[in-house]
Chains A and B, each alone.
Chain A
Amino acid sequence: MSQLLAADGESFEAPGVADFWQPLVGDGAFAITRPMVVMALSVVLIGGLLLLVARRLSTVPGKAQFIVEGGYGFVRNGIARDVIGSHDFRRFVPLLFTLFVLILVNNLFGVVPFVQYPTFSRIGFAAALTAVVLVTFHVVGIRRKGVGAYFRGLVPGGLPGWIVPFMFFLELVTVFITRPLTLGMRLFANMFAGHLLLLVFILGGEYLLLHGEGLTRLASIPAFGLGIVMTFFEILVQFLQAYVFVLLSAFYIAGALADEH
């Protein structure tokens, strides 16, 4: 912990992991926490918006319809069709679009005033989404090829016989451990690190301004300035993470469906 001495003798407490634990009702394992409320809010918001837009569809789209159709078209054509292929991408579009919008809105809540909490900076939320993707791509792979062929398909053909068990083991580790771990951790760690970065600049600037002495107060200006710059950078990262999560999910589904390894 870095310590800055101030005029009134209080020292600066650097923000840390503890700042992310914010129970609203109750305490302990069954507390209703702030990210839970934010997640519920996002679901109501997304559901309401999409229902509203879908109810008054018109041939000449209005502003809201244009934005929603743009987002839908981006996931459908830009991710699902390009990655999974035009033969059987259709049934995965609802899943991928849901993932994309849910992650995007929850990430953006990290910088929306008064909400200001990226839900996926708690690993439980990221883990739940990852579990959905993990089950999905294994189940579609097994249903397409059957259990034996699915696991045989993990190892590329044409390898010398003695290397096959090693490859099989490595691929099992990749498919069941590395993939879900990296998928969930990437989203969680990005949101966590980004939010922590903003906390450092904003809280540090506030501390310098309110508890600083003389010219030290001026140092709060670059701190707040960087806080603002980092907020815009965060918005970019939030879009990127939603995109990357859905892109990788589509890659995994495409890999499970592919005939050859």
Chain B
Amino acid sequence: MYRYDKYDQAMVDTRVEEFREQVRRRIEGKMDDDQFKPLRLKNGLYLQLHAYMLRVAVPYGTLNSAQMRTLADIARRYDRGYGHFTTRQNIQYNWIKLAEAPDILADLAEVEMHAIQTSGESIRNVSSDHYAGATADEVIDPRPWAEMLRQMTTFMPEFSYLPRKFKIAVIASAEDRVALRWHDFALRIVRNAAGEIGFEVFLGGGMGRTPFIAYRSREFLPANQIFSYLQAVLRVWNRHARRDNIHKQRMKILVHDLGQEEFTRQVEEAFQHFLSLGEDFPQAEYDRIAAYFEPPAFEQGLSDEIDLSDPAFAAWVKQQVVAHKAPGYAIANISLKPVGGIPGDISAEQMELVADLAERFSLDELRSTHAQNLVLPHVRKADLHTVWQALVSAGLADANLDLVTDVIACPGLDYCSLANARSIPVAQKIVERFADAGRQADIGELKIKVSGCINACGHHHAGNIGILGVDRKGSESYQLLLGGSGDEDTTQAKIAGPGFDEDGIVDAVERAVEHYRVIREGGERFIDTYRRVGMEGFKEAIYG
């Protein structure tokens, strides 16, 4: 993984001290909140419903054990003993005191972490495949490219006052594990016929009030031209964006207004200009950064055998463990979706245990996922049982990856000042309703995503079953959506009909699931059945 050099460290340290001074002046009353707000947001500090919330960047979801221990320490020392992993692979703390925020940033800086670009009108933390560097289905490790984009865009003057937030994702496999086409700027690394590395480029995706799936603007962009292309996209957006209307500032709206063809034409024109400036990465710079992502020294000659005589362990392996590129190794997914839990929440003690497991059994690497789970990317198969036992003891061994109880949910009205309805209780009730492991296994892959407002942090547009909480005359109401996907077969979910109350939406989800179980054919997943039969049959089952 990437390590700071003296320049990186100096920049982050300086930023911490700058913010410390800004906080001091705010507390002394020398700035009002209107003046201070953009400064704190530049450092990931929000003011939420109950307290300040700090969102910490986890670039492309990669962490080591020392970083995870620091996250645990922050949870214990400065917060209320837990953190919350988000759908952008970040972690956020919900109960931060303003005066302590600079100390937290200083602690983060000691382990080469920060909260820059986790909020505000910036290029947000670049997300990537949580199996990067471990999976056999990737063309190359996508993280060096994500890191290069991060470095080139952080503190770049033209990107310091964007019309709105801008989200980038990079993957390198056909299977999409990052909800690629729901991003403003989405890159899939591919090889052309000549074996050269390049990017399939998608532009203008995003959820929120006006959802759009990104369209493909380039089938193959030479890799060494990526920064010119990104600059071109941002230049066109910066030039035309509707800065007069907060609901129309995102790039997806401009793409829609101009049309994909015209937007692409203007991008290509600007691209030629930026190419002529010669500001793209020299190969040596790519090589320098890529060296940090060289595969770890996997042991040779390991056995691929796993003793599955323990049924509970076998069930966990079946659901949570996926193939690794190196013989004798496996990728182990850690569920943060226990029955009765809050999706994405993890206690300080659990973080420390996961850090220990990463250090002892995963070559010191960890990943966070956009589905609010964690990953141990490099576990020897011979160690899986030991890892599982430790996870069991910590309440982290649920075997529900991509099943009906692996629910994504935003913090909702329990924490978020933007939300209109609570999303966590809905997620919890769904998980309780479907808690039976046999029933979950029978239902199979089913991705449920819950948002507490139209901003869609819970990705409801991409849910096979999506739930959107709205305010209906001062009460919470929940709309049911069907048919969404954030995978390589990206689709946008559609509203099924009138909304429900909190218990009603859980019943409605169950009716939709039971209808699927009745009409599914062969090995169809829920989404396959929905796509085959369409909305009408489901509507009848849900609404009668």
Q: Do A and B come from one complex?
A: no
